[in-house]
């Protein structure tokens, strides 16, 4: 990065708010995914005004800017594709207002997800979207990726809980969309910005809904001798008319991995488990718990356990929330996927993932939001082995092909970023993508903000990606294709 640019950044944000030494920049060349690229500089903004001045400087000098939260993303969205300024919002971490009468909170983007719920629990409220990284991820990052989480099955993902945004555009203008009201007049630009992955503007304030803590919560653990029976139970619970607050699935390999790490109380001899949470009025929850337990047993569950107290409930959830981290104990690297399928296709997709695992000789553990068909296969590999590294990417591509074959999507909550940008042409037509480009260019015409992310250059994409591999789902018994 040119010294004159660094001097101007330091003038805007302060000397201690700019990093440019190689050893400092190394910490910002990656996120929680597998790709890496070192930025030209990192600057920590502490106010909307500073963000505005940084964007004006970058636009004048045609320097790309990549907004960044906690770096827990899994699709490369916060990684610089070229020598760019990484604009960290981690120091903008104030809860500006808690408005209980209106069930709203106004926060800066660097507020850690779980901290908002901790701050509002004393009033009897919480912030519903709960990514597995909620102890570290920031709400600004959640807005960029439209993050979900285990407990968004009944209440919806980030976009359903954001009612207003303050945004700095690439030219430094500060605009406001929405507010505390449930609905706003005109185009829903608040919803449009949620999930735009930092390609439209930099969010500097967020107004979110607060949800009342439930009167009663019950957590069940369904234990199965086959993955197929567990997967069929997901479909059966959905058809029963009960919508759990959360419906998570771990296969046997993941169960054993988690147990070795945190001793959560999962049976290590199980082929799969379902973690099912019900919440609401006590009488309703008790009725639903009986109904769901019955469905599980009808679908050949070996046993259905019920958390006996809050301590055991939290331990079961600790196992689920730390599942990905537990894999780090047994593999030097793993590649997390984020495909979506219709719930009825869960059994067939898991069978296809098992076939892909055997084909490439790679272990693939499955832990995912079964209730809404959001899969998170974890492909284990050794990044020091180029063959394993290449095979992990091939396996990932085949899994995505399977998801699309079943009418799903290439991402549910982790975003497209740089990781899956080349797969967008497999999901959308050129006309579809052209409309997306036009919308992006209306806000970010010079591609200053987060360039080469999410929406591909069509010509470049056709040259480097080629067609997706044809999944062998026809070989799965009984699946309609």
Q: For residue range 219-249, list pLDDT tens digits in order.
A: 999 999 999 999 999 999 989 999 999 999 9
Percent of the chain with pLDDT over 70: 95
**For residue 464, what pLDDT band results from cuts at 50, 70 and 90?**
very low
Q: Checking DSSP bridges between strand 65-68 and strand 85-88, what pairing results, if any?
A: parallel
Query: What is the end-to-end Cα distance of the chain in Å, rounded?
Result: 52
Q: What is the dihedral of CA 431, 436, 439, 443, to 10 degrees?
A: -140
The structure tokens listed for 437 are: 């480009």
Sign of CA dihedral 294, 295, 298, 304: negative
Q: Give the integer Cα–Cα distance in Å for 109 and 158.
A: 13
**For residue 458, what pLDDT band results from cuts at 50, 70 and 90?**
low
Sign of CA dihedral 160, 161, 163, 164: negative
Q: Give the integer Cα–Cα distance in Å for 171 and 443.
A: 9
Task: Indicate whether this model's pTM tops 0.85.
Answer: yes
Q: Give the integer Cα–Cα distance in Å for 115 and 429.
A: 41
pLDDT at 422 over 60: yes
21 backbone φψ class: left, alpha, beta (φ>0; ψ -120 to 50): beta
User: Measuring CA to CA, how many Å separate 439 from each of 196, 228, 436?
Assistant: 11, 43, 5
Q: Give the integer Cα–Cα distance in Å for 443 and 411.
A: 24
Q: For residue range 167-214, list pLDDT tens digits in order.
A: 999 999 999 999 999 887 889 999 999 999 999 999 999 999 999 999
The structure tokens listed for 369 are: 């939001």
| Stretch 337-353: mean pLDDT | 93
| Stretch 92-120: mean pLDDT | 98
The structure tokens listed for 261 are: 């790490």
Q: For residue range 67-98, list pLDDT tens digits in order.
A: 999 999 999 999 998 889 999 999 999 999 99
Bridge partners, residue 176, by sequence: 166
Q: Give the integer Cα–Cα distance in Å for 455 and 411.
A: 13
Q: What is the pLDDT of residue 480?
A: 43
H/E segment holding residue 290 = helix 282-298
Q: Give the integer Cα–Cα distance in Å for 245 and 217.
A: 9
Show the domains of the chain with their CATH numbers: 3-88 (3.30.43.10), 95-212 (3.30.465.10), 216-326 (3.30.70.2190), 331-481 (3.30.70.2740)
Sign of CA dihedral 413, 411, 199, 448: positive
Q: For residue range 6-27, list pLDDT tens digits in order.
A: 999 999 999 999 999 999 999 9
Q: What is the pLDDT of residue 460?
A: 54
Q: What residue has token string 């010294």?
A: 3
Q: Which residues of 195-231 are buried (b: 16+ CB within 10 A; e: fewer)?
A: bbbbbbbbbbbbbbbbbeebeebbbbbbbbeebbbbb
**For residue 481, what pLDDT band results from cuts at 50, 70 and 90?**
very low
- Closest by CA to 148, choosing from 340, 398, 421, 400, is 340
């Amino acid at each position: 990065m040119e010294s004159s640019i660094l001097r101007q950044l330091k003038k805007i944000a302060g000397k201690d708010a700019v990093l440019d030494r190689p050893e400092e920049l190394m910490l910002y060349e990656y996120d929680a995914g597998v790709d890496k690229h070192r930025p030209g500089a990192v600057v920590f903004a502490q106010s909307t005004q500073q963000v505005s001045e940084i964007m004006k400087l970058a636009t004048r000098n045609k320097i790309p800017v990549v907004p960044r939260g906690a770096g827990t993303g899994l699709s490369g969205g916060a990684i610089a594709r070229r020598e760019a300024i990484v604009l960290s919002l981690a120091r903008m971490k104030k809860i500006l207002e808690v408005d209980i009468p209106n069930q709203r909170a106004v926060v800066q983007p660097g507020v850690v997800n779980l901290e908002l719920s901790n701050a509002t629990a004393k009033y009897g409220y919480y912030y519903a979207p709960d990514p597995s990284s909620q102890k570290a991820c920031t709400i600004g990052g959640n807005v960029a990726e439209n993050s979900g989480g285990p407990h968004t099955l009944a209440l919806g993902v980030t976009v359903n809980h954001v009612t207003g945004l303050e945004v700095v555009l690439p030219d430094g203008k500060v605009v406001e969309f929405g507010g505390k009201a449930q609905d706003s007049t005109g185009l829903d630009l608040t919803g449009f910005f949620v999930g735009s992955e930092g390609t439209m503007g930099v969010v500097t304030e967020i107004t979110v809904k607060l949800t009342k803590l439930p009167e009663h919560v019950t957590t069940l653990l369904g234990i199965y001798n086959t993955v197929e029976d567990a997967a069929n139970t997901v479909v059966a619970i959905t058809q029963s008319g009960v919508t759990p607050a959360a419906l998570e699935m771990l296969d046997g390999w993941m169960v054993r991995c988690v147990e070795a790490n945190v001793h959560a109380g999962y049976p290590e001899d199980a082929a799969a488990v379902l973690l099912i949470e019900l919440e609401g009025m006590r009488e309703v929850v008790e009725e639903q718990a009986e109904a769901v337990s019955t469905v599980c047993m009808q679908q050949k569950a070996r046993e259905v356990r019920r958390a006996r107290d809050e301590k055991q409930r939290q331990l079961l959830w600790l196992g689920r929330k730390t599942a990905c981290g537990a894999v780090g104990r047994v593999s030097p690297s793993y590649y997390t996927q984020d495909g979506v399928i219709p719930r009825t296709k869960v059994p067939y997709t898991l069978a296809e993932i098992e076939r892909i695992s055997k084909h490439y000789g790679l272990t693939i553990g499955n832990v995912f939001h079964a209730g809404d068909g959001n899969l998170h296969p974890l492909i284990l590999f050794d990044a020091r082995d180029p063959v394993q590294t290449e095979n992990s990417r091939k396996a990932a591509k085949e899994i995505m092909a399977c998801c699309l074959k079943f009418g799903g999507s290439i991402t549910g909550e982790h975003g497209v970023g740089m990781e899956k940008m080349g797969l967008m042409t497999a999901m959308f037509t050129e006309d579809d993508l052209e409309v997306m480009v036009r919308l992006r260019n209306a806000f970010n015409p010079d591609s200053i903000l987060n360039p080469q992310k999410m929406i591909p250059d069509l010509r470049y994409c056709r040259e480097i990606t080629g067609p997706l591999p044809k999944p062998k789902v026809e070989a799965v018994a009984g699946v309609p294709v």
